[in-house]
Structure 1
Amino acid sequence: MRAVVFHGKEDLRVEETEEPAPGPGQVKLRNAYSGICGSDLHVYYAPAEAGLDMENPHPVTGATLPQILGHEFSGTVVELGEGVDSVAVGDRVAVWPIYFCGTCAACRKGAVNACRTIGFHGLTSHGGGMAEFTTVDASKVHVLPESVDLRLGALVEPMAVAWHAVERSGVQPGGSAVIAGAGPIGIGVWFALKGHGVENVLVSEPSPERRSIAAALGANVVDPTSEDLAARVAELTDGDGVDVAFDAAGVGPAVTSALSSLAPLGRLVIVALHERTTEIFPTQLVMTETEMAGALGYLQSDFDAVIAAMADGLYDTTGWIDEVGFDGVEATIHELRAGRGMKYLVSSEA
């Protein structure tokens, strides 16, 4: 079968690989779509800094390079391994791709998404979504309802990242929010806030292209480089500040501006990965009793919530989703790194 295989830093190849067969408790999927994620860019350009061990087997999965990419993906069940009765051949599914140790402090608290030796199918495993087929444990697949197609199903994973961030924020229906960054995760946070009953939202984004996409979806947008963000927040909240803020940009100014936007007792959730350290003024937190929290990945319950919201028609992919084939993945990674484009799904049939 054909697959997109990562061999090392800036070394990505489309190759013929062995077609997998499901073991006990596993299912075999014919992959449909797989998203290109910011994590894929981190792995491609700086694998060691992204936490990918280039020499030793992964402590949970035992996987080593080379690695088939694609950790946010959908597919159709084509074969069942021994003992599988939770899904059927022909089911269309999204895959919860996390591998966890089950014994570390995070896992013992039920936060397997923060496992200290976390792995992902399509990053540190025996396969991935950027291949014609893959095998995964049946416990990792979430069946899609008829109203959710496979294209939308490939977005369950990144939208679950955003949904989990909103869950971490503790925001209540009728609350207010600022989102710093209108990339795919920022857009996902905007959708997730709507799903939580939060409509009073301001999206801060310096890119004209991304502002335009967010605005076309119905978001209230602001350019932080040319407009007064504080004044827009004051206008939105009658001078109080927002209940929650989200850093979906991964740059220092996004953090500091988001903190300044908070009302007393507000919470900032960091959902973006940062490549550089950021200075903050802790007294700012003290004087307003505001909080900062991190949000990593998702739980299985976040997948269920996103799929239910998709079935209810919450998500709109108009204007921000493009498709490429296997042969276009590496060029698309370069485009995304250069700040061009929004969200790309890799089609196994393109």
Structure 2
Amino acid sequence: MKAAVFHAKEDVRIEEVAEPTPGPGQVKLRCEYAGICGSDLHVYYAPESSGLDFEHPHPVTGSMPPQILGHEFSGTVVELGEGVDSVQVGDRVAVWPIYACGECAACRRGKPNVCTKIGFHGLSSHGGGMAEFTTVDATKLHVLPENVDLRLGALVEPMAVAWHAVEQSGVQAGQTALISGAGPIGIGVWFALRAKGVETVIVSEPSGGRRAAIAGVGASNLVDPTQEDLAARVAELTGGDGVDVAFDAAGVGPAVAASLANLTPGGRVVVVAIHERPMDFLPTQLVMGETAIVGTLAYLQSDFDAVIAAMAAGGYTADGWVDDVPVDDVVGAIKRLRAGEGMKVLVRS
């Protein structure tokens, strides 16, 4: 079968590899769509900083590169391994791709998303979604309802990242929010906030293309922070109170600083983006308003269920911000995303 296989820095090859067979408790999927995300770009351009180990097997999966890519993907069940009765051949599914040790403090506390030995199918495992077929444990499958197609199904994973961030914020219906960064995760945060009844959502994004993309899914309170007074806009839309929650989906220090500066007393900043550089801030900002900063990583299985339910209710669309490419164009798509071209790319297997 054809697959996109990572070998080394800036070395992803489209190869013919052996078709997998499901073991006990596993299913075989015909992969349909797999998203390219920031993690894939890190693997391609800076594998040494992405957690990949070229010398030792992964502590949970036992895997080492070469690695078939694709950790955010959808597919159709084509074969059941021994003992699987939770799904049927023909079911269309999204895949929760996490591998966790089950023993560390995070796992014991029900947080496999921050397992100290975490791995992902399509990043540190025996297979991935950028292939014609893959095998996964049946426990990782989330069946898609009839009105959620496989294209949306491949977006469940990144949208679950955003959903989990909104869960971490504690925001309630009728409250107010600020999103810094209108990339795919920022768009996902907007979808999740709307699904939870948050009507006043301000989006801060310097890129005209990204502002247009999030406007295309329905966002209206858009600010270019390089040209406009973000604080004045927040004050206008919140009656001078500041927002209840703010999300850093940009991954730069000024986004966190602006989030803190525009919080209402008792508000919370959620950092969902990965930062490559340190930043300075004055902790007194937290003290004087009894505000908080919290980090968030990945998702739980319950976040997948919640996103799929919201998709089934019509709360999500891929129109206008998601592009498709064939698997042969994976490297080209990675390079275009690195250059800032496009928003979200799904690879057709």
Give the TM-score taking structure 1 as reference length.
0.99
1:131 aligns with 2:120: no
- Give CA deviations for 1:213-271 in whole Å, capped at 9, x if unaligned: 11122212110100000001101100000000000011111111111111111000000
Moved more, 47-56 or 258-267: 47-56
Give 4+ residue runs of structure 1 displaced > 4 Å after superposition.
none
SS in 2 for 1:19: coil
1:201 aligns with 2:213: no
1:167 aligns with 2:190: no
Which residue of 2 is the match for residue 306 of structure 1? 307
Which residue of 2 is the match for residue 176 of structure 1? 176
Opposite residue 118 of structure 2, the aligned amino acid is I
Q: Say if 2:9 and 2:44, in contact at 8 Å, map to a contact too.
A: yes
Opposite residue 9 of structure 1, the aligned amino acid is K
Q: Say if 2:152 and 2:317, in contact at 8 Å, map to a contact too.
A: no
Q: How many angstroms does 1:51 deviate by?
A: 1.5
Counterpart-to-counterpart distance in 2, 1:136 and 1:89: 14
- Give CA deviations for 1:60-93 in whole Å, capped at 9, x if unaligned: 0000010000000000000000000000000000
Q: What pairs with 1:116-265 in structure 2 (closer than 5 Å)?
A: 116-219=116-219, 220-265=221-266
Q: What pairs with 1:41-120 in structure 2 (closer than 5 Å)?
A: 41-120=41-120
- Give CA deviations for 1:288-316 in whole Å, capped at 9, x if unaligned: 11100011000000000000000000002
Q: Say if 1:247 and 1:254, in contact at 8 Å, map to a contact too.
A: yes
- Give CA deviations for 1:80-132 in whole Å, capped at 9, x if unaligned: 00000000000000000000001111101000000011000000000000000
SS in 1 for 2:50: coil
Which residue of 1 is the match for residue 317 of structure 2? 316
Opposite residue 239 of structure 1, the aligned amino acid is G
Counterpart-to-counterpart distance in 2, 1:303 and 1:347: 21
Counterpart-to-counterpart distance in 2, 1:227 and 1:18: 55
SS in 2 for 1:142: strand
Q: Say if 2:3 and 2:132, in contact at 8 Å, map to a contact too.
A: yes
Opposite residue 26 of structure 1, the aligned amino acid is Q
Moved more, 124-133 or 275-284: 275-284
SS in 1 for 2:7: strand
In the alignment, structure 1 segments of 5+ residues that lack a partner are: none
Q: How many angstroms does 1:338 deviate by?
A: 1.3
Q: Say if 1:164 and 1:295, in contact at 8 Å, map to a contact too.
A: yes
SS in 1 for 2:210: helix
In the alignment, structure 2 segments of 5+ residues that lack a partner are: none
Which residue of 1 is the match for residue 327 of structure 2? 326
The size of the alignment, in residue pairs, is: 348
1:32 aligns with 2:32: yes
Counterpart-to-counterpart distance in 2, 1:246 and 1:327: 35
Q: Say if 1:47 and 1:54, in contact at 8 Å, map to a contact too.
A: no
Counterpart-to-counterpart distance in 1, 2:206 and 2:17: 42
Q: Say if 1:2 and 1:15, in contact at 8 Å, map to a contact too.
A: yes
Counterpart-to-counterpart distance in 1, 2:89 and 2:322: 28
Q: Say if 1:67 and 1:126, in contact at 8 Å, map to a contact too.
A: yes
Counterpart-to-counterpart distance in 2, 1:198 and 1:211: 19
Counterpart-to-counterpart distance in 1, 2:42 and 2:260: 26
